[in-house]
Structure 1
Amino acid sequence: MMTITEWENHSVVLSKSFGGVGLVKHFAVIGDPIAHSLSPVMHNAGYKALNLAADYQKFQVSPEDLGEAVLGLKALGFSGWNVTVPHKETILPFLDELTEEAVRAGAVNTVKVDKGRLIGHNTDGSGFVRSLQEHMELDERQQIVILGAGGAAKGIAMALAPFQAQLCIMNRTPERGAELVGKVLEWGGQAHQEEWGRGAWLAQADCVIQTTSIGLKKEEYPFSLEGIRPGTLVVDIIFNPWETPFLHSAKAMGCKTVNGIDMLLYQGVNAWEFWLEDKAPLESMRKALYQALAV
């Protein structure tokens, strides 16, 4: 992770390596914390694969410094940047325009500088949908359970809404779950709420998506998945650890399990294509991520 001064020195060297100062496009991710981010790994691998004059860095930005950081990135000539926790909602007032995806999600994870204007976009939901479509079809026949109602759940639910899948929202705080249900319905999707915990939904779900932070420290899930149908697709958006206790339990019950690495991949691919308006080198980016995690 570089400081701004180190980045400026790096930028001059990199620009000269491509034939002259000013030719390189600069991208980044900002967040707090940020040291763990793998976004630079996949983006820089993509630039290398296509021999693009571009680089991608990560910057630690505390909540109180967000506005200054946004102005600084723009002033330094960045073409765009990703936004991660805790800035996805608080960055909204500093932007000039939002895409429909950002409005729908109520959050931004990607910013593009376009003729001096800062355009906020959200690729979290669309990235998750692209990863999910590798494993199942999405239509009104699917019963999809979303565990959690936080920022990640909101992005996923709102991205699934246009497919008319039957969404079941479950959250430890019912009020937040009800709020997300209302938002999905407002945008024309299908959703209802169930009580947090085991229930009849286990035998009805075609897909269960775990969106909370439970499992990051390898802790057991608060309730069992006993009663789930074998073959059900079970997704945990956590990818480190590679297999959470939640996924381990689902696998033991005969479910097909998927972690969150491809959500990370596809949200990055979608951000790339939003910034550069060209097809991203998907397999090069995927390979870099998997190598970084040694899997």
Structure 2
Amino acid sequence: MKKYLGIIGDPIEHSLSPIMHNAALEKQKLDYIYLPFQVTPDNLKDALKGFKALNIVGVNVTIPYKVAVMSYLDQISEEAALIGAINTIHLKDGKWIGYNTDGIGFLRSLREDGGTDPEGLRVLLFGAGGAARAVAVQLGLSKAKEIVIANRTRKRGEDLAKELGGKISTTSFRAVGFTPGELKEEMKKAQIIVNATPVGMKSITQKELPLKLEWFRPEHLVVELVYRPLKTPLLKMARSAGASILSGEGMLLYQGAEAYKIWTGMEPPIEVMRRAILDQLKKED
């Protein structure tokens, strides 16, 4: 009998997860199908009850439900509790178990595609939202030396740095504002620069970026969580300055791969999933 997986969000039509997962399921000849489900906020609880009644194996969770869904789960993983958000749920023995594979996906991309282990390194992280939290937690658990959170609302960055500093003792956390003077100084110290904000998306030009070409160095690894487009203005600027760059499709790929393992118990065909993502993104360019 066919088993069902899916993703919930609002909106949901932009998601690449169905393309990626169905390619993997087909390659491994598993009798599953992965479907997108648009769920409105007032129907979230009922949707999860319905999924459980239908014995749907698991679903990914995207905006705007990564925090709200936590109220309806029976169990939450340690990483998800630290991050304070869920992106993967699994129905096991009649109970919903929540995970967050975003940070794991980011770290695997950093190591395998970026050739960099964060242990002992200084990281400058742009943003203090959900994606930034996942990245900061995983970098902290991986013993990065220092994580500096740069956010337009400085107080939000300070709150996140204080919270994570109280939970993860192996890493130093602090916050700065998103001002040219502060960014310039922090870029001098950082080895890894991670953008977890919309800055750098297609609608923004290099001239509009709050960064200057001369601030980048060849020893920087600049990581973008955005994957539309594959080469953002931020990555183009960093590359032109001689820095190494890492685009966002790797995090998407590896967080999906981790969810796939949770649901099926199998190692997914990574390169099949990667090709499915890249083929779709190239069509959109």
TM-score (norm 1): 0.89
* Structure 2 match to 1:266: 254
* Corresponding letter in the other structure for 1:169: I
CA offsets, 1:256-288, max 9 Å, x none? 111100100000000011112221111111111
* Structure 2 match to 1:211: 196
* Structure 2 match to 1:164: 143
* Structure 1 match to 2:211: 224
The Cα shift of 1:289 comes to 1.0
- Structure 1 moving runs of 4+ over 4 Å: none
The Cα shift of 1:216 comes to 3.1
* Structure 2 match to 1:278: 266
- Larger Rg computed on CA atoms: 1
Q: 1:179 aligned to 148, 151, 159, which one?
A: 159
Return closer, same or farther for 1:139/1:128 CA change in 2, 3 Å cut-off: closer
Structure 2 counterparts to residues 125-144 of structure 1, below 5 A = 125-134=103-112, 135-144=114-123
* Corresponding letter in the other structure for 2:131: A
* Corresponding letter in the other structure for 1:212: T
Identity %: 38
The Cα shift of 1:199 comes to 2.4
The Cα shift of 1:88 comes to 0.1
What RMSD in Å do the two structures reach over aligned CA positions? 1.4
* Structure 2 match to 1:236: 224
* Corresponding letter in the other structure for 2:149: I
* Conservation of the 8 A alpha-carbon contact between 1:147 and 1:171: yes
Q: Which moved more, 1:30-39 or 1:198-207?
A: 198-207
SS in 2 for 1:153: helix
* Conservation of the 8 A alpha-carbon contact between 2:153 and 2:177: no
Structure 2 counterparts to residues 50-61 of structure 1, below 5 A = 50-61=28-39
CA distance in 1, matches of 2:119, 2:229: 33
* Conservation of the 8 A alpha-carbon contact between 1:210 and 1:236: yes
* Corresponding letter in the other structure for 2:231: E
The Cα shift of 1:215 comes to 3.1
* Conservation of the 8 A alpha-carbon contact between 1:161 and 1:187: no
* Structure 2 match to 1:11: none
* Conservation of the 8 A alpha-carbon contact between 2:137 and 2:164: yes
* Corresponding letter in the other structure for 1:160: L
Matched, 1:37 2:25: no
* Structure 2 match to 1:74: 52
* Structure 1 match to 2:134: 155
CA distance in 1, matches of 2:203, 2:245: 16
* Conservation of the 8 A alpha-carbon contact between 1:164 and 1:190: no
The Cα shift of 1:66 comes to 0.9
* Conservation of the 8 A alpha-carbon contact between 2:3 and 2:57: yes
CA distance in 2, matches of 1:170, 1:91: 28
The Cα shift of 1:158 comes to 0.5
SS in 1 for 2:203: coil
The Cα shift of 1:217 comes to 4.1
TM-score (norm 2): 0.92
The Cα shift of 1:138 comes to 2.5
Matched, 1:25 2:3: yes
* Structure 2 match to 1:119: 97
CA offsets, 1:111-154, max 9 Å, x none? 00011100011001111010011224324421111000000000
* Conservation of the 8 A alpha-carbon contact between 1:81 and 1:111: yes
* Corresponding letter in the other structure for 2:104: S
